[in-house]
């Protein structure tokens, strides 16, 4: 509410309340439109891939993920990093293997294993607001092993169900592909000449697989408990209601799957409505490119096409819970009048961006 606090206990209370409201609240609003979701995700995986995802976890598979984890990665609330488990492996081996195997067999995860410490890293010099810190999740090592096992299976099917608009975290693709393509599309963007064009940089705030895999993922996402690390002390202990953890080995792959919903929605709306392509994108039918946590959307600079993008983002928000952040999102337009540019900015409520 703008009130400044200085006392350590007051600062801790404000920070815990902020993240409890952000992460601990169950999402509310309209129910999922499952018919729309099915239309947006027409791709499926093969029976063989389904079986591979859902097969029992073997001790050999568990061992393969144990030792590559770096020794000195920040530990979770239990204080044990990967180096501890490696150095005491002869003693703890059977307990670790059985604990991990138990989760995959039962689909239940002990809440102490899924407890998470949030460490706050400043995003700006001398931060004075909670939102000026970047929250990094420090998970327990046992949990990291479980997440890595699921991630190894999920990432094998991503190339079959994720469209070409996404290159990060998809095997056989490189994030640099989209970076180079976006640079080419935006090259000389400020120069006069050519058709009216528009690009949006959207900052986002926060495939069909077998039931058992969904249950594994649901269990570890919904049983998370958070504590905030402030001035070398842990504060708060609250349940997660939504969101993925930055620092979680599985989060990038779940984000890729969520963004595929946007790709599907965009494809549907382009086919059904009078969408006009960006003049450099029409031949290849490029509407958008996805990055690690940002989205670039391209269209002709006209109110109708920008409105279609806005409608698509609203539908995506309803299905995924990912919300465009207007404070960090920008619109770039060229070869348009000042009046039209103002109209385009008003459609989405974004600020005008400036390209280098």
What pLDDT score was predicted for residue 219? 59
- Name the residue among 133, 134, 92, 95 with its Cα closest to residue 247: 134
Q: How many CB atoms lie within 10 A of CB 86?
A: 13
pLDDT of residue 349: 93
Query: With contact defined as beta carbons under 8 Å apart, do 202 and 324 qualify?
Result: yes
DSSP state of 350: P
State the first-to-last Cα distance of the chain, in angstroms, to the nearest integer. Answer: 36
Low-confidence ranges of the chain (pLDDT < 50): 207-214, 216, 243
- Give the pLDDT score at 296: 95
Q: What is the pLDDT of residue 214?
A: 45
In DSSP terms, which residues pair with 229 in a beta bridge? 119, 234
Count of C-beta atoms within a 10 Å radius of residue 284: 10
Three-state secondary structure call for residue 115: strand
Containing H/E element for 255? helix 251-272
- What whole-number distance in Å separates Cα of residue 157 and Cα of residue 150? 12
């Amino acid at each position: 509410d703008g009130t400044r606090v200085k006392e350590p206990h007051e600062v801790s209370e404000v920070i815990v309340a902020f993240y409890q409201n952000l992460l601990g609240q169950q999402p509310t609003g309209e129910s999922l439109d499952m018919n729309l979701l099915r239309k947006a995700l027409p791709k499926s995986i093969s029976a063989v891939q389904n079986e591979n995802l859902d097969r029992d976890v073997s001790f050999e598979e568990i061992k393969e993920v144990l030792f590559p984890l770096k020794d000195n990665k920040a530990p979770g609330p239990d204080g044990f990093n990967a180096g501890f488990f490696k150095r005491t492996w002869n003693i703890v081996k059977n307990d670790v293997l059985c604990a991990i195997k138990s989760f995959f067999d039962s689909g239940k995860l002990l809440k102490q294993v899924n407890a998470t410490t949030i460490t706050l890293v400043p995003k700006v010099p001398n931060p004075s607001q909670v939102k000026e810190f970047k929250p990094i999740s420090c998970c327990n090592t046992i949990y990291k092993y479980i997440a890595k096992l699921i991630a190894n299976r999920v990432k094998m099917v991503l190339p079959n169900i994720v469209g070409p608009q996404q290159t990060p975290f998809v095997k056989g693709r490189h994030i640099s592909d989209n970076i180079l393509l976006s640079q080419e599309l935006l090259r000389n963007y400020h120069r006069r000449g050519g058709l009216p064009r528009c690009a949006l940089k959207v900052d986002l705030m926060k495939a069909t697989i077998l039931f058992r895999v969904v249950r594994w993922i649901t269990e570890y996402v919904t049983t998370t408990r958070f504590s905030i690390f402030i001035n070398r002390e842990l504060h708060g202990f609250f349940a997660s209601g939504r969101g993925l953890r930055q620092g979680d080995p599985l989060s990038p792959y779940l984000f890729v799957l969520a963004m595929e919903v946007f790709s599907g929605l965009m494809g549907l709306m382009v086919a059904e409505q009078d969408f006009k392509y960006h003049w450099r994108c029409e031949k290849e039918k490029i509407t958008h490119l996805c990055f690690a946590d940002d989205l670039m959307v391209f269209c002709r600079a006209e109110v109708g096409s920008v409105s279609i993008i806005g409608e698509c983002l609203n539908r995506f928000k309803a299905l995924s819970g990912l919300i465009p952040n207007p404070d960090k999102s920008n619109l770039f337009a060229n070869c348009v009048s000042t009046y039209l540019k103002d109209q385009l900015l008003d459609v989405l409520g974004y600020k005008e961006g400036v390209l280098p």
